[in-house]
């Protein structure tokens, strides 16, 4: 699927919240940001801003993995995933992918425990059978056992191709950051971020600050996605009036909704 780290986190958060908090799903942009950045059940813990998440949603929307789900009378734009439709995966497969996307590589025992809130596997055999389906479809893989490891571990295979830059390795047990394509690897860290302890890990692609000034496992809150054509990061947006910013966000959401409706209309007409 060739997704970058932010797209993987967004999709994983949408998959999880659909099952765990169905009353709040689809998610608003603020709700999705909170889900992506929460400190529990995440490895690595990230600190993404709204611009990065919105860019990921637009990219995922073009692939038809997400869509705007708010109605015309809704006060805030809401988003949902389409991964079940796009990939034809059932509830058990969605649960495993969600946990792997949010928490990195894990053992079967960890997966069974951590998917309990999303989907209840009746036994270890049913979980292994579901993992085998994902592996056969190229959506997951069994990792080679490392020295000292007693159990095999599994990981998703939704990330970008090898050779891409990697966002922070994380401080959790898996220590596996998802790779970001080179055109999306430009990230900026402000003085405030470093002072607050939010930075890009030394293994990541950081711009403007030395690696030793950053704490591992945390992504700068000022992540900037590079322009896909130029490969350079956009200039920081100046502070604007909150009302203007809200209006811009609403207009962007309307544009996305109109594009999705136009695409669906073209599909219906067979163009």
Instruction: Please indicate, yes or no, whether residues 155 and 269 belong to a single structural domain of this protein.
Output: no
Instruction: Please indicate, yes or no, whether residues 156 and 251 belong to a single structural domain of this protein.
Output: no
For the chain, how many structural domains are there in total? Answer: 2
| C-alpha to C-alpha distance for 157 and 223, rounded to whole angstroms | 24
Give the pTM: 0.63
- Say which residues have a Cβ less than 8 Å from residue 114's Cβ, sequence separation at least 6: 41, 99, 103, 106
Q: 108 in a domain, yes or no?
A: yes
Percent of the chain topping pLDDT 70: 60
Average of per-residue pLDDT values in the chain: 75
SS3 101: helix
Residue 53: band (very low, low, confident or very high) from pLDDT cuts 50, 70, 90: very high
Name the domain boundary from 148, 163, 178.
163
Q: 201 in a domain, yes or no?
A: no
Highest mean pLDDT among 95-109, 186-200, 215-229, 252-266: 95-109
Structural domain that includes position 266: 242-271
118, 124, 122: which is closest to 103 by C-alpha? 118
Q: 209 in a domain, yes or no?
A: no
Q: 31 in a domain, yes or no?
A: yes
Tens digit of pLDDT for each residue in 146-161? Answer: 888 889 999 999 997 5
- Say which residues have a Cβ less than 8 Å from residue 106's Cβ, sequence separation at least 6: 99, 100, 114, 153, 154, 155, 174
Instruction: Please indicate, yes or no, whether residues 159 and 261 belong to a single structural domain of this protein.
Output: no
Name the domain boundary from 137, 163, 189.
163
Name the domain boundary from 101, 128, 163.
163
Instruction: Please indicate, yes or no, whether residues 141 and 24 belong to a single structural domain of this protein.
Output: yes
Instruction: Please indicate, yes or no, whether residues 29 and 146 belong to a single structural domain of this protein.
Output: yes
């Amino acid at each position: 699927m060739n997704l970058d780290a932010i797209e993987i986190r967004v999709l994983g958060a949408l998959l999880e919240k659909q099952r765990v908090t169905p009353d709040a799903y689809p998610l608003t942009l603020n709700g999705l940001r909170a889900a992506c950045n929460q400190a529990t059940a995440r490895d690595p813990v990230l600190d993404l801003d709204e611009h990065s998440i919105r860019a990921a949603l637009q990219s995922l929307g073009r692939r038809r993995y997400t869509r705007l789900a708010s109605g015309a009378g809704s006060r805030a734009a809401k988003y949902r995933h389409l991964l079940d439709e796009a990939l034809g995966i059932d509830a058990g497969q969605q649960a495993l992918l969600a946990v792997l996307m949010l928490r990195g590589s894990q053992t079967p025992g960890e997966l069974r425990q951590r998917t309990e809130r999303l989907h209840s596997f009746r036994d270890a055999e049913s979980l292994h059978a579901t993992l085998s389906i994902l592996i056969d479809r190229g959506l997951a893989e069994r990792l080679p056992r490392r020295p000292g490891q007693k159990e095999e571990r599994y990981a998703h295979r939704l990330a970008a191709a090898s050779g891409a830059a990697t966002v922070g390795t994380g401080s959790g047990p898996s220590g596996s950051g998802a790779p970001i394509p080179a055109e999306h690897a430009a990230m900026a860290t402000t003085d405030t971020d470093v002072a607050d302890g939010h930075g890009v890990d030394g293994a990541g692609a950081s711009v403007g600050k030395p690696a030793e000034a950053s704490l591992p496992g945390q992504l700068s809150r000022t992540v900037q996605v590079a322009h896909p054509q130029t490969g350079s990061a956009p200039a920081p947006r100046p502070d604007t009036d909150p009302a203007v910013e809200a209006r811009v966000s609403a207009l962007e959401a309307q544009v996305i909704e109109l594009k999705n409706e136009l695409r669906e209309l073209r599909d219906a007409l067979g163009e």
